[in-house]
Amino acid sequence: MLDKIKLSTICTIADRAEDVSIVYDLTMFDRSALIINLIHVAHLMDFDKLLTFEDNSFMHDINGVLRYVTCTTYEFSNCFYPRCGK
């Protein structure tokens, strides 16, 4: 079970992903899907490390979470592994 601190961090990550998407005119994403996927892969990622990344590496991991988390196993597929992986 995730604690309140980790849930707060996930919301901070989602906020930053939205901000970066706007600044760089990137395709918008489903915030709810991002949050749900981040919850499911929280054990595989270092969220504090993710938040220190520059925008390019940050969005690499965000896009990977949105594209490569499988709905049945909640693991990454297609050889994707986040740069902030544990």
Task: Note whether residue 83 is domain-resident.
Answer: no
Task: Note whether residue 75 is domain-resident.
Answer: no
b vs e for 20-44, b when ≥16 Cβ sit within 10 Å of the residue's Cβ? Answer: ebeeeeeeebeeeebbebbebbbeb
Q: Residue holding tokens 């760089």?
A: 24
- Helix, strand or coil for residue 57? helix
Task: Note whether residue 86 is domain-resident.
Answer: no
Range of the domain at 17: 4-68
- pLDDT tens for 15-42 read 999 999 999 998 878 999 999 999 999 9
Total count of domains within the chain: 1
Residue 72 CA to residue 60 CA, distance in Å, equals: 22
Q: Which residue has the higher pLDDT, 13 or 27?
A: 13
For residues 37 and 66, the answer to whether their CB atoms sit within 8 Å is yes
Return the pLDDT at 13: 98
Say yes or no to pLDDT of 1 above 70.
no
